[in-house]
Structure 1
Amino acid sequence: MTTAEQSYDVIVLGAGSTGENVADIVVKGGLTAVLVESELVGGECSYWACMPSKTLLRGSEVLAGARAVSGAAAAVTGEQDVAATLARRDSFTSNWDDASQVEWVEKSNIALVRGKGRLDGEKRVVVAQADGTELVLTAREAVAVCTGSRAAVPPVDGLADVAPWTPREATSAKEVPGRLLVIGGGYVGCEMSTAWQALGSSVTLFQHNERLLPHLEPAAGDAVEASLRDLGVDVHLGVEVQSVRREGGEVVLTSSAGEFRGDEVLVAVGRAANTDEIGLETVGLEPEGYLDVDESLQVPGTPWLYGVGDVNGRQQLTHMGKYQARQAGAAIVARARGEVVDLSDWSPFVATADRRATPSVVFTDPQVAAVGMTAAEADAAGLPHRVVEYPIGSVAGAAVHADGYTGTAIAVVDTEREVLLGVTFVGGGVAELLHSATIAVVGEVPIARLWHAVPSYPTISEIWLRLLETYRG
């Protein structure tokens, strides 16, 4: 085995969107950086998550939108072209070819090493390359672990043996499954049930909780459940999946609600950190689980090591991984210059948004867009608050958007400080309302000031005025 050595200021393990952003920030800050990647440059979001899942959903969303407007509905005389939808999905993943991402890396003056990287002591990474050789990388300043996460497969009897779909297979499938069994009623389970049912599959969804999307406002889960049932999805709540097996070409799932058969089974019950094979034990850390990090994404007690994105388990969303990458990159550059990194709130070197107010969207029909605390979370935190709700369909912009528009806006207001703790929108097209809510929550804009942020008429944004009016009484 041939071994070579190279040195850089910063080594980044994992070239997904988080790793790319860490490398970009430190290079722009005057340091050198190398990305180590064993799969596709661009990572989960580009090829198996955000981009393919949203393109699978978009065609159905457009058709539903047209059918909800009198006049336009008359023009919808056919069904969705499934082959064209899958082809469009493929185009957004560049047919699982990362050449364009590699080109960006090169143009950004970031080095790229293909292979499986493992820590091998302080500031040292050994990369096993495809040709059987090893490359030893040493970091002058920092190593950033951006290896992300993978789908967790629960210990259900027989499940691991039936080659279940994970979100990767669900977003990259080349054909519509005739019958799809979905285990899990969170973001992925609800989105993929929506997508594949609309594309012609017969979907059965199993959720152990009594409500879909249990971490969001109850109105969100209730609305998505009703929508899935209207679409034809067979939804089972409060159900325990007991075993899974294959009989011939069929998947047989036994649950507390009975026995069900399908062609594929999708597991969508959460994520597990990709930390078990990256050599953490060589630097005195546990070789599995999420990395513990401080607000600058630095691993306590190991000042040269950073855990950024999904790998720290704080908020497993692409935009939050990129946010953390920007903060960690800035901290690495500052420390390399000998500067003191301030870890107080609002410092340019710390990640606080993923604890204060994380925006998220569930791209079902209706969409669910939420940021900040739910009412239940405000209760648990003991914060004085009031919940304000208003039907979005009552504003003129919503009536223009779609005939018979239904939806709900929910604001959680801190009654002591008179600022928003959280906002949730449920309805068609509400994803585009979310950033205004994020600014209001993160910026802690007083209700008295929000009153002077006048929404345009007639747009769905008029819901802001109605929420404030309701709060004021």
Structure 2
Amino acid sequence: MHEADVIVIGAGPAGENVAGRCADNGLAVSVVERELVGGECSYWGCIPSKTLLRPGDVLAAAGRVPGAAQAVTGTADAAAAFAWRDYMTSGWDDSGQVSWLSSRKITLFRGVGRLTGTRMVEVTGNDGTRRLTARRAVVLATGTVAAVPPVDGLRDVRPWDNRNATAATYVPRRLLVVGGGATGVEMAQAFHRLGCPRVTIVEGAGRLLAREEPFAGEELRAAFQAAGIEVIIGVPLASARRDGDAGTVVTTLADGARISAEEILVAVGRRPATTDLGLDVLGLASDRFVDVDGWMRATGVSGGWLYAVGDCNGRALLTHMGKYQGRLAADVILGRDVPAATDVVPRVVFTDPQVCAVGLTEQQAQDAGLPVRVVTYGAGDLPGAQVQGTGIIGTSKLVIDSERSVILGATFVGPGVQELLHAATVAIVGQVPLDRLWHAVPSFPTVSEVWLHLLEQCGL
């Protein structure tokens, strides 16, 4: 038996934040991890995917600038990009992250953690089974895994998921990407710019990035097709088969069209990694996202000792939101009086052009019955964008509550617009009135000057 104040199952960013914050404030903390300390984001998600996108971003940015474009005489070096990816993921060695836990006197248990009762966890690892007891809380931070849709033959063709794509050691000659969400579009562009000559995206919905503003997906689709990435929307995948053990994947779409590829990447969404957690012992569903209240406490569990943070609670499948939830849960465990979690979620798709959004879309605001006004402005009309080169595209949009005169949502499309997003997040979370926001003067010539033009359209 091992006893601690707090037991955290899952050592990704969300779990690390809970563990670190509790340990830094004097609690005894144990962490259970079945794979690598650092989790999906560090080794198969955010870090490697953005690292693989970066070479193409730099070349494209230089190619837009007269005087610099002439110096771009070659193409991206995929082998060098993969080597830098290996460095950024520490070669899938988590010893550095383990040292971080040790520096905070956090005990690490390698193995599969499973709830067995109130504040009780059983860990099964290579060295046998151990039983842990938490004096205060157990925190679930197990994340999600890639979902595979029930398409005829799809599992049999051994498709790539996000892990295969971000850990790839070669560039296929033909890549088919199923799914037009963030992972699908980012990996499609990354491999195309690393040298894959034929990339096709198949999205069953009517547009790319279906959860964002319609113009965002359309502008991204237009940019992709202009660059030579084929985009098929509104037609789902019907079947797949592979010719031989390592042969070509042949797929059929719902309209009968056939597409062949060397590799097929399935990026249609995520499902919670909760199946083996023992939630059924507590009367909770074992194959669903863990429902939580605004303080990350699992609903339906008496005593308020069980928490779920990060992707496994389904509130916002983003690393930064998981880290925020982890800090919030830690403060609650520490007995601090903290407000409930905000539902304002910033999100960035790191394609070129980038798609950045926070808060509500226009449709979401209307569905909520809010009085809505929208304003838009083109990125290419900004001097700060024009100095970056030619062919700058993208649109910025604010969704405004016309009665309270505050921003409900913001979307920015264009090269390098991710740095605009935090200002919008602060404005929305802080409910800053537009007439006050007017006095936040953007520098000239920067892309952030778009704020001035958007507010001018509000009559300010």
The reply on whether 1:350 has 2:309 as its aligned counterpart is no
DSSP-derived class of the 2:169 partner: coil
1:452 paired residue number? 439
Indicate the residue corresponding to 1:18 in structure 2: 14
Aligned to 1:86: 82
The aligned counterpart of 2:250 is 252
CA distance in 2, matches of 1:12, 1:178: 43
Deviations 1:272-316 (CA, angstroms, capped at 9, x unpaired): 001111111122212210101111100123211111110010000
Task: Tell me if the contact between 1:14 and 1:146 (Cα under 8 Å) persists in the aligned partners.
Answer: yes
Asked whether the 8 Å contact 2:284–2:300 carries over to 1, the reply is no
Letter in 2 for 1:276: T
2:279 paired residue number: 280
Contact 2:41/2:319, CA 8 A, preserved across alignment: yes
Alignment of structure 1 residues 124-139 onto 2, 5 Å: 124-131=120-127, 133-139=128-134
Q: Give, in whole Å, the separation in 2 of the partners of 1:39 and 1:59.
A: 29
Equivalent pair of 1:16/1:42 in contact (CA under 8 Å): yes
Cα pair 1:198 1:231 within 8 Å, conserved: no
SS of equivalent to 1:120:
strand
Using the alignment, how far apart are the partners of 1:404 and 1:83 within structure 2? Answer: 29
Note the C-alpha offset of 1:349: 4.8
Partner of 1:173: 168
The question of whether the paired residues in 2 share the 8 Å contact of 1:392 and 1:408 is answered with yes
Match of 2:316 in 1: 315
Tell me the equivalent position of 2:327.
Answer: 326
1:146 paired with 2:141, answer: yes
Q: Deviations over 1:393-429 (max 9, x none)?
A: 1121111122232221101111000000111110011
* AA aligned opposite 1:74: Q
SS in 1 for 2:134: strand
Asked if the contact 1:191–1:363 (Cα under 8 Å) also holds between the matched residues in 2, the reply is yes
Is the CA contact 2:395–2:414 (under 8 Å) kept in the aligned structure 1? yes
* Residue type at the aligned position of 1:271: R
Q: Is the 8 A contact 1:328 1:349 kept in 2?
A: no
Distance 1:200 1:227 in 2: 17
- Superposed CA deviations along residues 131-182 of structure 1, whole A, max 9, x for unmatched, are 3x11111111110010000001111111112211111111110111111111
Matches within 5 A, 1:379-394: 379-394=366-381
% identity of equivalent residues: 53
In the alignment, what sits opposite 1:374?
Answer: 361
Matched-pair contact (CA < 8 Å) for 2:146–2:269: yes
Cα deviation per residue 1:330-361 (whole Å; 9 max; x = unaligned)? 00111xxxx6x5xxxxxx25312xx2x21111
- The 2-side partners of 1:196 and 1:216 are apart by 23
Please tell me whether residue 297 in structure 1 is matched to residue 296 in structure 2: yes
1:60 matches 2:61: no
Relative to structure 2, which stretch is displaced further, 395-404 or 103-112? 395-404
Q: Structure 2: how far apart are the matches of 1:305 and 1:424?
A: 35
Q: Could you tell me whether the CA contact under 8 Å between 2:398 and 2:410 is conserved in 1?
A: yes
CA contact (8 A) 1:293 1:300 kept: yes
Alignment of 1:264 with 2:266, yes or no, is no
- Distance between the aligned counterparts of 1:290 and 1:114, measured in 2? 23
Whole-Å Cα distance in 1 between the matches of residues 404 and 388 of structure 2? 35
Q: Secondary structure at the match of 2:387?
A: helix
Partner of 2:399, secondary structure, is: strand
Which residue of structure 2 lines up, in the alignment, with residue 112 of structure 1?
108
Counterparts of 1:88 and 1:123 in 2: how far apart (Å)? 42
Q: Deviations over 1:412-458 (max 9, x none)?
A: 11100000011111001101111111111111110000110000011
Aligned partner of 1:239 in structure 2 is 235
- Equivalent residue for 1:193, pick from 188, 196, 200: 188
Which of 321, 328, 349 is the aligned partner of 1:362? 349
Unaligned ranges ≥5, structure 1: 342-347
Letter in structure 2 aligned against 1:233? I
**What residue number does 1:98 align with?**
94
Work out which of the residue numbers 146, 150, 156 in structure 2 matches 1:155: 150
Question: Aligned partners of 2:432, 2:121: CA distance in 1, in Å?
Answer: 45
Work out whether residues 331 and 349 of structure 1, in 8 Å CA contact, stay in contact via their aligned partners in 2: no
**CA distance in 2 between partners of 1:401 and 1:27 (Å):** 46
Where 1:39 maps in the other structure, the secondary structure is coil
The one-letter code of the counterpart of 1:308 is V
Distance 1:181 1:75 in 2: 32
Instruction: Supply the distance in 2 between the matched residues of 1:288 and 1:282 (Cα, whole angstroms).
Output: 13
Structure 1 length normalisation: TM-score? 0.94
Q: TM-score, length-normalised on structure 2?
A: 0.97
What's 2:450 paired with?
Answer: 463
AA at the equivalent of 2:137:
A
Q: How many Å separate the matches in 2 of 1:129 and 1:256?
A: 44
**For this pair of structures, how many residues does the alignment match?**
454
- Give the AA of the match of 2:175: L
Q: Which residue type is aligned with residue 177 of structure 2? A: V
Any conservation in 1 of the 2:76–2:195 contact (CA below 8 Å)? no
Which residue number in structure 1 is paired with residue 209 of structure 2? Answer: 213
> Which residue identity does 2:43 align to in structure 1?
Y
Q: Kindly provide the amino acid, as one letter, of the partner of residue 212 in structure 2.
A: L
Aligned equivalents of 2:258, 2:393: Cα separation in 1: 35
CA distance in 1, matches of 2:173, 2:392: 31
